[in-house]
Amino acid sequence: MAKYDPVVVVGAGPVGLCLALALAQQEVAVILIEAMSDDNFLDQVPRAGTNHPATLELYDDIGLYRRLEPRGIVAPLFHYWDREKSELIAEFDHSVLKADTRFPFALQCERIKIVEEALAMAKANPLVTVLMGTSFTGFDQDEDGVTAFVENEAGDKDRLRGRYIVSAEGARSIVRKECDIAFEGFTYPDRTLNIEVAYDFKKHGYTDRNYISDPEEWSNLFHWKGPPERWRVHFPTKPDEDPDALTAPEALQARLQRFLPTGKEFEIVGCNLYAVHQRVAARFHRGRAILAGDSAHVNSPIGGMGLNSGVHDAFNLADRLAAIWRGEGDNSLLGRYERQRRHIAVQHTQQQTIRNKKLLAEKDPAVRRRNHDELRRQASDPQLARKFLLRSSLIESLREAARIP
Ligand SMILES: Cc1cc2nc3c(=O)[nH]c(=O)nc-3n(C[C@H](O)[C@H](O)[C@H](O)COP(=O)(O)OP(=O)(O)OC[C@H]3O[C@@H](n4cnc5c(N)ncnc54)[C@H](O)[C@@H]3O)c2cc1C
């Protein structure tokens, strides 16, 4: 049985779905609003895909992990490469984290598979009312609760009442804008080009996750489970390059041949161009309206931290809201959510992703050499490797957040 009135959650992305499932697990009812309908929900671009150990533990807590593992690749290793020299700089092995986590590996499992599985779980949960094909258009709040305004695909308007509203709508959050909360930070002038390829890069020594530094054209290379098997390569572009010219089939082939000259055409199965933002909302809640995931913070995907840190928001927030439902505290618990998660967004996610991009794109040969020597040193010493991996796998950020009162 649900306890009292529901939480209205906007957006059935990974953050909204994890929040809904974690709240339902603590007997809090949820109304989950998603603009996409059942007919087009699985047509989304794959996007995020690296799930770090700290996130796998949280998925496991709501029964999601066992549905994802068969659809993903268990990836204990990741690589740093120097493209200029075609040389492996460092291999990090998550097995040094065996004492820190029950998941000493990343799971390569794309966002689209995560939302497919989590949506099926949400629909089967009697405490979650899922409204697909329903667009959120705005809201009001008063002393007792919130009223969300929605519209279905036929244009019928409705109002939904709840005790709190959580924006898990992604970066363009209507709630954030209506609350007049600044999205502080910057947008890189260049866009990132993502190419999906059917080709076995492993035969060239790559592992499932590769970060590749180059003074002219850094890249990332990731492996996704089939069928059919897929690899994703990210490249930087120049700010004024024409999108059509960048994504023309011959331009994509030429870029891939420069990256790995095979002499044979690559089988390209898709591509997209996206802008990269580094922004954090000035506040994570105003009264009963709360931001989580991309609506609260966005960052470069290098290091795979956007989806992961958003999912961490969801679980933190579920605990705060469930405590309010149980009568263990009031709205001030949301202040703790904001202090903990905003601190991590600013001090960890932003700083680390900006550093990750600088490391890969560095042009100065002396600085590159120093950076690469440092990576080698850290990867070859188990204690330093553990420290490095605690940070990159977001275990350290969860521990640090928990210490913030
Ligand atoms: C190319 C690319 C690669 C990435 N790779 C990684 C990676 O490897 N690792 C990583 O951690 N992160 C990665 N990210 C970032 C990651 O995709 C996001 O951080 C993550 O999807 C955010 O989840 P979310 O649930 O907050 O928002 P979203 O995933 O954006 O979901 C928002 C949901 O809200 C719905 N919605 C929006 N507006 C409304 C409305 N008005 N009414 C109703 N519903 C609405 C949308 O339809 C959507 O379903 C990548 C991003 C990109 C672009």
CB distance 302 to ligand 1 below 6 Å? no
Out of 18, 114, 294, mutate this one to test ligand 1's pocket (max ligand atoms within 8 Å of CB): namely 294
On average, the pLDDT of the chain sits at 94
Helix and strand totals (H; E) in the chain: 13, 20
Specify the pTM. 0.95
Q: Looking at residues 225-237, what average pLDDT do you find? A: 90
- Ligand 1 centroid to residue 294 C-alpha, Å: 6
What is the distance in A from the centroid of ligand 1 to the CA of 19? 14
The residue assigned the tokens 């309010």 is 324
| pLDDT for 345 beyond 90 | yes
**Opening angle at CA 157, ends 155 and 161, nearest 5:** 150
Average pLDDT over residues 105-109: 97
Which of 5 and 319 is assigned the larger pLDDT? 319
pLDDT at 1: 41
Sequence-distant (6+) residues with CB within 8 A of 8 are 30, 31, 33, 139, 146, 148, 160, 162, 164, 165, 166
Indicate the top mutation candidate among 45, 169, 312 to test ligand 1's pocket, ranked by most ligand atoms within 8 A of CB: 169
Question: How far, in Å, from the CA of 179 to the mean position of ligand 1?
Answer: 21
| pLDDT tens by residue, 266-312 | 999 999 998 889 999 999 999 999 999 999 999 988 877 899 999 99
Least Cα distance to 23 among 172, 166, 141, 158 occurs for 166
Q: Strands, DSSP E only, in 199-321?
A: 209-213, 219-224, 230-236, 267-281, 285-286, 289-291, 297-298
- Any idea which residue has 């840190």 for tokens? 309
Q: Kind of pairing, strands 297-298 and 285-286?
A: unpaired
Mean pLDDT of 223-229: 87
Q: Are strands 289-291 and 164-167 parallel, antiparallel or unpaired?
A: parallel
Mean pLDDT of 106-127: 97
Question: Which residue from 187, 303, 194, 279 is spatially nearest to 239, judged by alpha carbons?
Answer: 187
Indicate which residue's Cα is closest to atom 38 of ligand 1.
169
- Pocket of ligand 1 contains residue 296 by CB under 6 Å: no
Q: Which residues fall within 8 angstroms of residue 185, CB to CB, at 6 or more apart?
A: 277, 278, 279, 280, 298, 350
pLDDT digits (tens, 9 = 90+) for 371-397: 999 999 999 999 999 999 999 999 999
- The verdict on the CB of residue 307 being under 6 Å from ligand 1 is yes
Q: Going by CA atoms, what residue is nearest to atom 21 of ligand 1?
A: 307
The arithmetic mean of pLDDT across residues 48-58, rounded, is 95
If one residue of 31, 42, 47 were mutated to test the ligand 1 pocket, choosing by the most ligand atoms within 8 A of its CB, it would be: 47
Percent of the chain past pLDDT 90, that is, above it, reads 89
Residue 334 CB coordination number (10 Å): 22
User: Is the model more confident about 304 or about 144?
Assistant: 144
Type and span of the H or E element at 197: strand 183-198
- The CA radius of gyration of the chain, in Å to the nearest whole number, is 21
Whether 112 lines ligand 1, by a CB cut-off of 6 Å, is no
pLDDT score recorded for residue 228? 82
